[in-house]
């Protein structure tokens, strides 16, 4: 189960928040190793979970014509995103602070012969990575876990090659009618409702992500629609798979139908820039973010 000899360890001591995250992972890691044993292919692995990496990464990878990209994937968790990218023919450097998840990714890498380099560290310490000139740096729902997101973005900027692209996927965005003090109160009082698993959670408004990217040196910073909104049938099928529709109560079926209408409506709305851009700027509609390292 231990593949630490294949993992590049760059951080010896993590912050209190990240350490708590790692403890949470350690408590549930065995079930993920058991799942890997049942997988017959890399697609079995990255298609199975609650991660939406695949649908989001399909969208941002459309920005490139090059097939063999050199990608730094930061905060990968169980590694579905890195496995998907490597399976798609790219060279991937997967950054993850949990040594247990690093071991898991190494197991998947070896089982399916994937081009993944596993690095045990956090975004704030990626400046220790000797490898440079990445085509793409991705924060996989992970920038909001960083204690110092500005530093993490500056590191990413320096690791990219000229004309390299950064992509922020699935970051938490506070709605405009909720101030930060209340958001953190809700996180403390209702952690399950907020999707909190005991990790190192922070949250920002949409405009704050844009501001941080620009402060790190990125140009042509953009807000782009989430892949989940661009492909409503993906999300509808995902919701169906959580629990068979036929087994649900009438009230649950009605909620599912309402959500389905919502996803279809959003798929139309996000394709209209005059609506998507102002609504995403205000954090009313969640957005993904990209930026360019100009020459």
Place of tokens 């907020």: 194
What pLDDT score was predicted for residue 241? 65
pTM here?
Answer: 0.91
pLDDT tens for each residue of 19-64: 988 998 999 999 999 999 999 999 999 887 566 777 888 888 888 8
Contacts of 49 (CB under 8 A, 6+ apart): 78, 80
Average model confidence (pLDDT) across the chain: 89
Q: Which domains does the chain have, with CATH numbers?
A: 4-225+287-292 (3.40.50.150), 230-269 (no CATH)
* pLDDT classification of 185: cutoffs 50, 70, 90: confident
Does 245 score more than 70 pLDDT? no
Quick one: average pLDDT of 258-271? Answer: 92
The residue that leads in pLDDT, 165 or 49, is 165
Percent pLDDT > 70 in the chain is 92
Give one DSSP letter per residue of 250-268, joined into a string: HHHHHHHHHHHHHHHHHHH
- Per the model's pLDDT, the better-predicted residue between 224 and 253 turns out to be 224
Asked whether the predicted pLDDT for residue 240 surpasses 80, the reply is no
Question: Is the confidence at residue 112, as pLDDT, over 90?
Answer: yes
Residue 90's CB: how many other CB atoms inside 10 A?
A: 24
The larger pLDDT score, comparing residue 203 to residue 119, is at 119
pLDDT score at 243? 55
* Residue 246, burial from CB neighbour count under 10 angstroms (0-12, 13-18, 19+): exposed
pLDDT at residue number 187? 84
195: confidence class by pLDDT, cuts 50, 70, 90: low
pLDDT at 1 over 50: no
Report long-range pairs for 190-198 (Cβ below 8 Å, ≥24 apart).
Answer: 197/24, 198/20, 198/21, 198/23, 198/24
140, 152 contact by CB (below 8 A): no
**Which pLDDT does position 244 carry in this prediction?**
53
Q: What pLDDT score does 50 carry? A: 62
Reported as a single tens digit per residue, the pLDDT across 55-110 is 888 888 888 877 899 999 999 999 999 999 999 999 999 999 999 999 999 999 99
The rounded distance, in Å, linking the Cα atoms of 252 and 5 is: 48
Rounded CA separation 248/254 (Å): 10
On the question of pLDDT at 253 being above 90, the answer is no
């Amino acid at each position: 189960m231990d593949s630490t000899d294949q993992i590049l360890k760059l951080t010896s001591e993590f912050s209190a928040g990240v350490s708590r995250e790692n403890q949470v992972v350690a408590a549930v890691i065995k079930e993920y190793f058991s799942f890997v044993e049942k997988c017959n292919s890399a697609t079995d692995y990255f298609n199975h979970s609650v991660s939406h990496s695949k649908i989001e990464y399909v969208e941002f990878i459309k920005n490139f014509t090059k097939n063999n990209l050199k990608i730094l994937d930061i905060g990968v968790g169980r590694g579905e995103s890195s496995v998907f990218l490597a399976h798609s023919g790219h060279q991937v450097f997967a950054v993850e602070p949990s040594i247990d998840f690093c071991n898991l990714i190494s197991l998947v890498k070896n089982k399916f012969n994937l081009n993944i380099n596993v690095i045990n560290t956090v975004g704030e310490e990626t400046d220790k990575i000797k490898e440079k000139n990445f085509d793409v740096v991705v924060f996989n729902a992970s920038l909001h876990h960083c204690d110092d997101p500005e530093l993490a973005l500056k590191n990413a900027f320096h690791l990219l090659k000229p004309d390299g692209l950064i992509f922020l996927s699935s970051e938490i965005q506070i709605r405009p009618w909720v101030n930060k003090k209340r958001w953190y109160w809700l996180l403390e009082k209702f952690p399950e409702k907020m999707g909190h698993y005991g990790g190192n959670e922070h949250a920002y408004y949409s405009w704050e992500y844009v501001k941080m990217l620009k402060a790190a040196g990125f140009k042509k910073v953009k807000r782009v629609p989430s892949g989940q909104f661009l492909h409503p049938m993906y999300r509808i099928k995902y919701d169906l798979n959580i629990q068979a529709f036929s087994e649900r109560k009438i009230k649950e079926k009605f909620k599912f139908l309402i959500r389905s209408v919502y996803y279809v409506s959003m798929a139309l709305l996000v394709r209209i820039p005059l609506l998507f851009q102002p609504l995403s700027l205000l954090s009313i509609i969640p957005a993904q973010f990209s930026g360019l390292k100009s020459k």
